[in-house]
Structure formats: structure tokens, C-alpha cells
Amino acid sequence: MSEIKIERIKKTFDDFVAVEESDLTINNGEFFVLLGPSGCGKTTTLRMIAGLELPTSGKILLDNEDVTFLRASQRDIAFVFQLFALYPHMNVRNNLAFPLKMQKFSKDEINTRINEVANLLRIDHLLSSKVSGLAGGDRQRVALGRAIVRRPKAFLMDEPLGTLDAEFRELMCLELRKLHNNIDATTVYVTHDQLEAMSMGDRIAVMHKGRILQHGKPKDIYTKPKTKFVGSFIGSPAMNFIPVNHTIQKNQNSVKIDNEEYAVPKSFQNTSSQNNVLGVRPEKMFLSDNKGIPGEVYGSEYLGTRKILTIQSRFGTYKIRVSNDVNLKIGANVKISFDSDSAIIFDGQTDEALHSEFIN
Ligand code: ATP
């Protein structure tokens, strides 16, 4: 276990800023996810933590020790690039023993550790089998075992499940998370898949264009996105955005949309922003018989336990989560309203949320 701290680290490649100055503390024993779209700087951040890339400026601390200029091999961190990177001609035992032999551990210590890891990963029966003959899931476990057997201070994983099919991926997500809990490790996990991040992470940092936009517990990021980008990147279906098209005045306790008044969320704090945008999660929107935004049903997806309706209105296309009993024909005219206290008001110019928890 260990605490990883990054202080004002920045990485540029020539003139291009891959990671803007960032601060982050990853706690002892935490499963921390770096999440964001392709090219946002996740891998570069992870590589700097690993010691595979030198920051242009800033510091990296591992258990309060400054490791910024230490080589990867001196950091006691396991970087799991690809869970299938094994020696196919060797058997499982030798694959597990390899990193320990490199570190010149005694035979007894090597055997003790291999037995411990094999037991933990339920691969004891495979120790004499050749890796080339193993099924995908077993290979993945062996590769994980090879990282664990060193007992590093932290594990860094870069999209380790990227190449797997959906069903196996889901299973491996569960296994990885369970394993993390069992070995009480600190894990930093990179993914562009928000569902994977939400289901696995104790905390998530959402990155975009080299910047960490927000970090926190999955539920906090989902319910209180700090920017419009975070609101749209997290959640499936994504957050709906309703343009208010006017500036909400200080002390104003309602907003006007299509000539109807809606209460302003309690934590809303106006600054001098303009052209505000309301963000509402699909499950916080509903069909209304009274006031609401007029629209037309464009699509209806049956998802077993619920339905997702796509409604087209003059403000945009919205997805709302409704119960299975709702039977509406495509083209039906409806009105949609929303739970205004769970709405987030964003500044139309900066895309930043205007709520008390985000305003200094
Ligand atoms: P992906 O999931 O696609 O790998 P990412 O979020 O991990 O995306 P990075 O790999 O960290 O993104 O890359 C961030 C940006 O820095 C990208 O625009 C990438 O092209 C650029 N970059 C990364 N490494 C280098 C390098 N060695 N030289 C120049 N540019 C680089």
C-alpha cells in the first residue's frame, strides 16, 4: 500500500501540452481511476507516476518520498500494460517466478510467494501448465499474478481489459476489483469507459484536453458534475442540456424556459454568468400533464427494467428514463418536466457549474 501524490506536474511534447499542471492525491489502498476520452493525457499521467516519462515540471511523491527523478525500476510500482504479456513457452510457475528471480529472492521465498498468489487467484492447479495452452481468463489471472507476486507499493493499469469482449470484460472488472480489495493495494487504473470507471473506482478523476476537470467519488461526480463536459461524459444516457437562454439574476429563485417558471436548485449561486444552461439527468426528467417543455416522441428503447424515451423538442433532443408501463407511439406529443433541485446550472460561456460547492 502507498500514497501517491502528484504536485503541479505538467508534461509537454515540444510545444504541445499533453498534461496541464495538475495536483492529485491517491490515498493508501484506493482504487483510483483516470477517466477521459482518447488523447486527454491519461496514459501520460500514468507513465509519469510509473517513472516511464519525466514530467516537464512538478513533483511525484510516493509515501511522501520525492520519486520524480527515480527510474521506474527504483519506484516499487507494478505497471500492468497488458494483461496478456507473458512468456508463452514457460509454464505458469516459471512465469510467476521470473520477476522474483530477477530480484534475486531465495528459492524458499519464491515458492512461498508463488503459492500465496496462486491460491489468491485460484490458479494453483495450473502451476505446471504451459501458458500457451491456457484459456483467456486464466492467462489474464497469471499475468496479474506476475504483477502481484512482487508485492509492489502500487499497481498502475492502462486499459488492461481493452481488448476483451464485453462479457469477459465485465467478469474481469469484478475480479480485478475483488483482487484489489484482497491484497489491500493502491491501484491507479486508466480507462476511457465511464461505466467501467463508475463500477470499479473508489474515486475517479475526469480528464479532458490534458486537464483534470474533477475528481471525487463516482456518485458525487454523477450527481454534481463540475463542468458540462463531465456531465455529458459520465452517465449513460448522458445528461440532458436545456438552454435557459437568459441570464439568471442574483437572488432569482426561478428560471424561465419557454415562458414557464422552474425553481432554481438550492445550491445554485449566481455569479456574473450569461446564457445559463440547465443539466438534468435522464432519470430526473419526467412526462408531465401540466407544465413542461413540449416535444414529440422520437424513439423508445425497452431495456427490461425500464424504458428510455427520446423526445425531440425545440430546445434539443432529450433522453428520459421512464417505467415500462409507459406506452407512447413514435410521434406522440408530450410535455417533459424535471426535478429542478437535482438540476445543475452551467455558465453558458465557461461551461462551469454555478453551485456553492464549486464556487470559492
Ligand atoms: P489514449 O487512450 O488514446 O491513449 P490518453 O488519454 O491516454 O489517450 P495520452 O496517450 O496521454 O492520452 O496522450 C495525450 C496527448 O499527448 C495525445 O495528444 C498524444 O498524441 C500526445 N503524446 C503522447 N505521447 C507523446 C509523445 N511521446 N510525443 C508527442 N506527443 C505525445
pLDDT greater than 70 at residue 306: yes
pLDDT greater than 90 at residue 330: yes
User: pTM value?
Assistant: 0.88
Quote the ligand 1 centre to 55 CA distance (angstroms): 14
Which residues line the pocket of ligand 1, CB cutoff 6 A? 13, 16, 18, 36, 38-44, 192
Chain centroid, CA 69 distance in Å = 28
- % the chain with pLDDT above 90: 59
Confidence of residue 310 (pLDDT cuts 50, 70, 90): very high
Q: Look up residue 193 and give its three cell numbers.
A: 469507459
Pocket test for ligand 1, best of 17, 40, 54, 158 (most atoms within 8 A of CB): 40
Q: How far apart are CA 236 and CA 221, in angstroms?
A: 14
pLDDT greater than 60 at residue 117: yes
Question: Which domains can be identified in the chain, with CATH numbers?
Answer: 4-223 (3.40.50.300), 228-358 (2.40.50.140)
Tell me, what's the pLDDT at 267?
78
pLDDT tens digits for 333-342? Answer: 999 999 988 9
pLDDT greater than 60 at residue 300: yes
Which span out of 135-149, 258-272, 287-301 was modeled with the highest average pLDDT?
A: 287-301
Quote the ligand 1 centre to 39 CA distance (angstroms): 5
Residues, the chain: 360
Confidence of residue 83 (pLDDT cuts 50, 70, 90): low
Tell me, what's the pLDDT at 210?
97
Tell me, what's the pLDDT at 82?
55
Nearest CA among 50, 5, 255 for reference residue 152: 50
Residue 186 near residue 155, CB atoms below 8 Å: yes
Tell me, what's the pLDDT at 263?
85
Q: Look up residue 103 and give its three cell numbers.
A: 530480484
pLDDT tens digits for 177-213? Answer: 888 888 878 999 999 999 999 999 999 999 999 999 9
Confidence of residue 259 (pLDDT cuts 50, 70, 90): confident
Tell me, what's the pLDDT at 175?
78
> What mean pLDDT do residues 41-47 have?
96
Tell me, what's the pLDDT at 251?
67
Q: How far apart are CA 96 and CA 102, in angstroms?
A: 11
Q: Pick the residue whose CA is nearest to atom 28 on ligand 1.
A: 13
Confidence of residue 81 (pLDDT cuts 50, 70, 90): low
Tell me, what's the pLDDT at 172?
77
> What mean pLDDT do residues 70-95 have?
83
Tell me, what's the pLDDT at 217?
97
Pocket test for ligand 1, best of 11, 12, 42 (most atoms within 8 A of CB): 42
- % the chain with pLDDT above 70: 94
Tell me, what's the pLDDT at 293?
92
Tell me, what's the pLDDT at 237?
92
Pocket test for ligand 1, best of 19, 34, 44 (most atoms within 8 A of CB): 44
Least confident of 58-72, 81-95, 210-224, 244-258: 244-258
> What mean pLDDT do residues 244-250 have?
68
Q: How far apart are CA 66 and CA 18, in angstroms?
A: 22
pLDDT tens digits for 140-177? Answer: 788 888 888 888 889 999 887 766 677 777 877 887 88
Q: Look up residue 347 and give its three cell numbers.
A: 455558465
Least confident of 112-121, 190-199, 249-258: 249-258
pLDDT greater than 80 at residue 271: no
Q: How far apart are CA 80 and CA 159, in angstroms?
A: 9
